[in-house]
Amino acid sequence: MKRCVVSLVSDQTIPNILIAAHYRPDHLLFLTTRSMEDRGKSAAILQTLALRGQDYGARHQKIEVAPDSIVDLQNKIAEWVRHNSEDFHFIVNLTGGTKLMSIAAYDVFMDFGSEMVYLPIPRNEILTPFPKRRPRQPVAFAERLSVQEYLTAYGFKIGNRSKLEPYQDRCRSRKDVTHFLFAHYQNIQPLLKALGAVIRPLKKNVLKRGYDFKMRFEIENQPQAEFLSMMHFELDGTEIRKTIKEEDWEFLRGGWLEERLFLAVDAALPSGKDILINVMCEDPFGNRNEFDVLFTLENVLYLIECKSLGAPEGGENDVSASINTFLYKLGALRQNFGLTPRAFLATTSPDILDSRGNVKAHLIERGKQFSTEIIPLLLTSDLEQYFQQRFSQT
């Protein structure tokens, strides 16, 4: 007998993808609504499964039901069964849909001796809660989603996919420079500000053949001189020279911090993670979103937003505005698309600290409302240890 997984479609597409990936059924049956179809949720599930090598393009059907009517769902399922010649063993995923859809699906499919399953995100195990008096033990599953699969599940498209591996290679190739800059940040910061004032206004088109950069700066300490040498700047008295290319421009205008966080996560977390840097995405409405660092671990998506010299440093209101802008972005992702990453906001700004040198309490609480942790980089010298400790608790 062939197997058919019945999926109740909702904003949260991940449970439906993982259940289908685990059981690898012969057929998929979506119980969905007009709202979910308008938002492309069934299509996103199919696209994500196809990325994993499970093509259900010709092996699925959809039943569109009223989300608040048990009778409508039951009647439409009964009609589908009458006109379907296949004899299926049904596995019903009760995780998604509305509560009334779950009740109706349970009521109908129990008459077929169907298996009822539930996936309690973020636990990577499948529950079989029926029969109630003799429920089965939870079943662990091995499927883990990549960043691309996770984004696809919510209707996002990665626009710069071909560049992501070169970004990673470049990041790893200059890790010594990145580690040195982070370790000596406060000594090098005045030099970074001076370089940034000249480099930031440059347009990418002037960097294609290389931009002949010149600037006068009085070297203040050994870390500044060593950093310039590591970056292959020429130093003639107080004049600094270098032919700047796009990769130098991106690094010096703040990309170095994104790379430092990428390297920390890459080194600190166990195997089984998937991590990308500088991801350009297009949401289902066609709007572009840029993410500094994205990674998945144990089927949870994490986002790191980095604020270096670009972070406002003019006072409390400016810092709050910068953080609020990022949190608003997270809120919009959740409200519009159901995408709910857990996030870190890593910043070198001293203005997030109170008079005792701790992160200001109201910023911590504001972040918690959006599942966001603020990383005070001026107080966090060992980022690898920070992430090791953070994820040893999960």
Same domain, 188 and 129: no
Same domain, 217 and 329: no
DSSP class of residue 171?
H
What is the three-class DSSP state of 345?
A: strand
**Residue at 148 is within a domain:** no
pLDDT of residue 311: 42
Report whether 343 contacts 302 (CB < 8 A): yes
**Residue at 113 is within a domain:** yes
pLDDT of residue 316: 46
DSSP class of residue 135?
P
The last residue of a domain, from among 226, 251, 276? 251
Same domain, 71 and 50: yes
Question: H-type helices in 269-347, by residue range?
Answer: 316-337
Q: For residue 232, what are its two tokens?
A: 């292959």
Same domain, 318 and 372: yes
Task: For residues 383 and 100, give the distance between their C-alpha atoms in angstroms, rounded to a whole number.
Answer: 46
**Residue at 117 is within a domain:** yes
**Residue at 150 is within a domain:** no
Question: Which amino acid, one-letter code, is at 363?
Answer: L
Place of tokens 């519009």: 336
Same domain, 16 and 72: yes
Enclosing H/E stretch for 215: strand 211-216
Task: For residues 242 and 391, give the distance between their C-alpha atoms in angstroms, rounded to a whole number.
Answer: 41
What is the three-class DSSP state of 194?
A: helix
**Residue at 26 is within a domain:** yes
E-strand ranges in the chain read 2-8, 27-32, 60-64, 88-93, 115-117, 125-126, 139-140, 157-158, 211-216, 234-236, 239-244, 274-282, 288-297, 300-307, 342-347, 372-376
**Residue at 152 is within a domain:** no
pLDDT of residue 314: 38
The CATH number covering residue 315 comes to 3.40.1350.10
Same domain, 7 and 136: yes
The CATH number covering residue 45 comes to 3.40.50.10770
- Contact partners, residue 177, CB within 8 Å, separation at least 6: 227, 230, 231, 256
pLDDT by residue, tens only, the chain of 394 residues: 899 999 999 999 999 999 999 999 999 999 999 999 999 999 999 999 999 999 999 999 999 999 999 999 999 998 998 888 778 999 999 999 999 999 999 999 988 889 999 999 888 999 998 876 677 789 999 999 999 999 999 999 999 999 999 999 999 999 999 999 999 999 999 999 999 999 989 988 889 889 999 999 999 999 999 999 999 999 999 999 999 999 999 999 999 999 999 999 999 988 778 999 999 999 988 989 899 999 999 999 999 999 875 444 334 456 677 888 899 889 888 888 888 899 999 999 998 999 999 999 999 999 999 999 999 999 999 999 999 999 986 5
Same domain, 201 and 68: no
Same domain, 137 and 176: no
Task: For residues 388 and 155, give the distance between their C-alpha atoms in angstroms, rounded to a whole number.
Answer: 31
Task: For residues 344 and 360, give the distance between their C-alpha atoms in angstroms, rounded to a whole number.
Answer: 16
Task: For residues 166 and 171, give the distance between their C-alpha atoms in angstroms, rounded to a whole number.
Answer: 8
Spatial CA neighbour of 261 closest among 125, 380, 110: 380
Same domain, 196 and 282: no
Domain tally for the chain? Answer: 3
**Residue at 312 is within a domain:** yes
**Residue at 39 is within a domain:** yes
Task: For residues 21 and 48, give the distance between their C-alpha atoms in angstroms, rounded to a whole number.
Answer: 10
pLDDT of residue 133: 67
Show the domain range for 237: 168-251
Same domain, 269 and 189: no
Task: For residues 184 and 181, give the distance between their C-alpha atoms in angstroms, rounded to a whole number.
Answer: 5
The last residue of a domain, from among 232, 251, 270? 251
Enclosing H/E stretch for 66: none
Same domain, 243 and 298: no
Same domain, 256 and 312: yes
